[in-house]
């Protein structure tokens, strides 16, 4: 099973390049775990702050859900909206896999919560799918962590967010993979909690120094994306892909 995790940045790096990336990897990738996906424009929010940056619908791939799905016709689409119905998490799973279960679990605030000050402060769930791999179930979890508009350090909300994710995973009866954009630095307690719980942190294990591309212009804080696996997952490969189709780099994991 090959999985690619990517924060698409809403297609701001270029729609054609992003769609070409999906087409290039379509035949070799079983699951795509994507963050920052739109299905329609938020015209009423144009100019409002999201993570401290004003929303500009003209620069966003506002039909990303539909266009990415069309680029991957052999994958089944699972969309979890976070803000109203038009923005959220997307998983695409190859139709050769049997999906046993799918769902979401809120780890920050509750469904429908959106800050009146900054719409980037909204409810955050994990999105998960359990599928059969060689007649054995495995759970894949897609996540986009809280952004507080300040930094990627620990906060009470982020620590609670990690705690709730771990509570969810304690109830799983399958091997699992957790991936996505955590908006956290590697040495935070919020990340260490996963390692202390026995998960393999592949970013640390493989010595990854950056999960960003040249579209990300800050000279520091080059980490944001992570992949964790439970101890019963047999890892074949893990790498940061060189494709520059977002300000985040795509992460590829292959498991047996």
Compute the C-alpha angle 82/84/86, nearest 5°: 80
pLDDT tens by residue, 86-106: 899 999 999 999 999 999 999
Compute the C-alpha angle 99/105/111, nearest 5°: 120
The pTM is what? 0.95
Decide if 47 contacts 55 (C-beta within 8 A). Answer: yes
Higher pLDDT pick, 17 / 148: 17
% of the chain surpassing 90 pLDDT? 79
Decide if 8 contacts 35 (C-beta within 8 A). Answer: yes
Token pair recorded at residue 165? 């994710």
CA distance 89 to 198: 26
pLDDT score of 102: 96
Decide if 34 contacts 21 (C-beta within 8 A). Answer: no
User: For residue 173, what are the domain limits?
Assistant: 2-255
Half-sphere exposure of 14 (CA within 13 A, CB side): 8
Q: Indicate the average pLDDT of the chain.
A: 93
Considering its fold, how many domains does the chain have in total? 1
Compute the C-alpha angle 171/172/173, nearest 5°: 115
CATH number, domain with residue 113: 3.60.10.10
pLDDT tens by residue, 191-228: 999 999 999 999 999 999 999 999 998 877 899 999 99
């Amino acid at each position: 099973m090959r999985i690619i995790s990517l924060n698409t940045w809403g297609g701001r790096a270029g729609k054609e390049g992003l769609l070409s990336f999906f087409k290039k990897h379509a035949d070799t990738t079983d699951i795509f775990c994507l963050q920052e996906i739109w299905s329609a424009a938020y015209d009423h929010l144009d100019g409002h702050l999201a993570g401290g940056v004003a929303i500009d619908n003209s620069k966003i791939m506002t039909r990303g859900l539909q266009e990415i799905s069309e680029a991957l016709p052999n994958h089944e689409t699972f969309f979890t909206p976070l803000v109203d119905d038009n923005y959220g998490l997307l998983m695409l799973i190859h139709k050769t896999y049997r999906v046993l279960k799918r769902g979401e679990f809120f780890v920050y605030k509750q469904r429908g919560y959106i800050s009146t000050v900054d719409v980037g402060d909204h409810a955050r769930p994990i999105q998960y799918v359990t599928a059969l791999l060689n007649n054995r179930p495995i759970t894949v979890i897609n996540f986009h962590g809280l952004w507080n508009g300040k930094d990627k350090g620990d906060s009470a909300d982020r620590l609670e967010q990690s705690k709730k994710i771990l509570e969810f995973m304690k109830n799983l009866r399958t091997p699992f993979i957790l991936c996505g954009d955590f908006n956290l630095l590697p040495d935070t307690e919020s990340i260490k909690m996963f390692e202390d719980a026995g998960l393999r942190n592949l970013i640390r294990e493989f010595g990854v120094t950056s999960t960003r591309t040249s579209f990300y212009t800050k000279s520091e804080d080059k980490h944001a994306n992570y992949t964790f696996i439970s101890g019963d997952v047999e890892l074949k490969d893990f790498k940061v892909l060189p494709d520059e189709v977002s300000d985040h780099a795509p992460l590829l994991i292959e498991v047996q």
